[in-house]
Amino acid sequence: MNAAVRCSRPPPPADDAPRRALQAAMVVCLVLLAAEAIAAAVAHSLALAADAAHIASDVLAIAIALLATHASAWPPTTTGTYGWRRAEVVGALLSVVTTWGLVVWILISALERGAEVIQCATDPGRRDCEPINAKIMAIIGIFGMSMNVILALVLHGGAHGHSHGTLATNTMHHAHNHSHSQSHSHNEDHNHSHNHNHDHDHNHSHGHHHDTHRHAYGGEGSDGLVDVVIEPDTAGFLVGYSDMERDEDMETVHSLMPETHSHSYESDNMNIRATMLHVFGDCLQSLAVILAACVMWIGNVWTKGYYISAHSYYNLADPILSFVFGIITIFTTTSLFKEVVSILLEEVPASIDYTNFYNELMRVPKVCDIEDLHIWSIGPNFNILSAHLCVKDCSSMKEVNYIVNKATSRCKELGITHTTIQLNHKTTVSVNEVS
């Protein structure tokens, strides 16, 4: 019998805005690639060839981004219980790596071309030197810059999210409630009891004991129903709570938080950002083409009387500017690379202060210590927390529910999408006050 996939909530459907933006960007890139590839061959310009290679890498990056954006909305499976949420992260990583590979090729080519230009400039009689057409370079450079600006605007429209945010933007949508409350005690005998509530709340109580008196109680209503085993010989209890609230519960939490109105990239797609960085690199390369063309045009006219020359030191502007802007492109992508690696290593998200988070949870009533506090991300804007909270003077299950709900709500406010909390107590629980 196949196990059913039980997921707190399904992944959100793929957003049409990023997908449409990426599709439009693909069309623009293909047109620009054709124009620059032809111009690079005619003008014999490394800067133009590098720009065309940048556009080719954009096409690959956009294809990866489209696939990753679509895959991130695929449902979870028994082997991938979070679905394909990290496809977006892997896609962004591939995009950055292809950019860096391209830059390495540009740097090597620039060094080779520079040596060739110097040899041709020092030997005016050499006949195998190819002239660089600065006029074509300038025209295509301006055209490429214009197309890249259009491309950036298209991608900006797909990435720019309109949100009515809170302290934790984009963590307050499409939620369902699944809470799991567990109490365990173990002795020699085996007595097993289960209480199930089918309003997306699953509460389990397991008792294994010898010659003891056992009670299982459920709290009021289906919200926060918690079963507890009373064991005279037990030193404490555990309550596990996995929180992905229902929409109406989320509205309550949302109403407690300060409302802000923002247009934010917090809701953007990581692959859109990666593609935007590609486009920014293209803009830099187009700028290199324009500047190199201007230097060669003016310099050659001044020294040779014509804007085209195969034996001019001014032709060094082509490989030099390609090299410089290639280095700049690497620096523009390092921040995204660090973010991707941080997610894959499951580090604490950069937007969350671990120490401050610890202190905030310690302010929850009756919490005296915190064990095993872990915060990480599955993907952009999907932060996860698990923690063991040690509580004291907790005499009823109402208090248990209050503590868990208070801690969970605070986690939501601080930017956590999925929260799993376990309460550890040092004394036996009384049920005298349970209603």
Residue 133 belongs to domain with CATH number: 1.20.1510.10
380 and 241 share one domain: yes
In a domain, 430, yes or no: no
- Domain with 369, as residue range(s), is 179-261+349-425
382 and 416 share one domain: yes
> In the chain, how many domains are there?
2
Question: Smallest Cα–Cα separation from 429: which of 205, 138, 231?
Answer: 231
Detail the DSSP E strand segments found in 77-190. 161-163, 179-186
Q: CA–CA separation, 145 vs 112, rounded Å?
A: 26
254 and 340 share one domain: no
Tokens of 105: 């090729």
Alpha-helical regions (H) of 198-269 = 247-255
Instruction: Tell me the per-residue pLDDT of 116-128, one tens digit each, with 9 for 90 and over.
Output: 999 999 988 888 8
Of all residues in the chain, the percent with pLDDT exceeding 90 is: 20
In a domain, 6, yes or no: no
Q: Provide the pLDDT for residue 355.
A: 93
Instruction: Tell me the per-residue pLDDT of 22-59, one tens digit each, with 9 for 90 and over.
Output: 888 888 889 888 988 898 888 888 878 887 887 887 88
In this model, does residue 360 exceed pLDDT 70? yes
In this model, does residue 304 exceed pLDDT 80? yes
Q: CA–CA separation, 21 vs 141, rounded Å?
A: 24
Reported as a pLDDT band with limits 50, 70 and 90, residue 71 is: confident
Of 309, 344, 379, the domain-final residue: 344
Residue 305's CB: how many other CB atoms inside 10 A? 8
In a domain, 11, yes or no: no
In this model, does residue 434 exceed pLDDT 60? no
Alpha carbon distances (Å) from 89 to 19, 60, 245, 272, 361:
16, 16, 26, 11, 29
Q: Provide the pLDDT for residue 210.
A: 40
Instruction: Tell me the per-residue pLDDT of 311-349, one tens digit each, with 9 for 90 and over.
Output: 899 999 989 998 998 898 888 889 889 999 999 999 999
In a domain, 9, yes or no: no
203 and 293 share one domain: no
Of 316, 344, 372, the domain-final residue: 344
**Cβ 178 vs Cβ 8: under 8 Å:** yes
123 and 42 share one domain: yes
Of all residues in the chain, the percent with pLDDT exceeding 70 is: 69
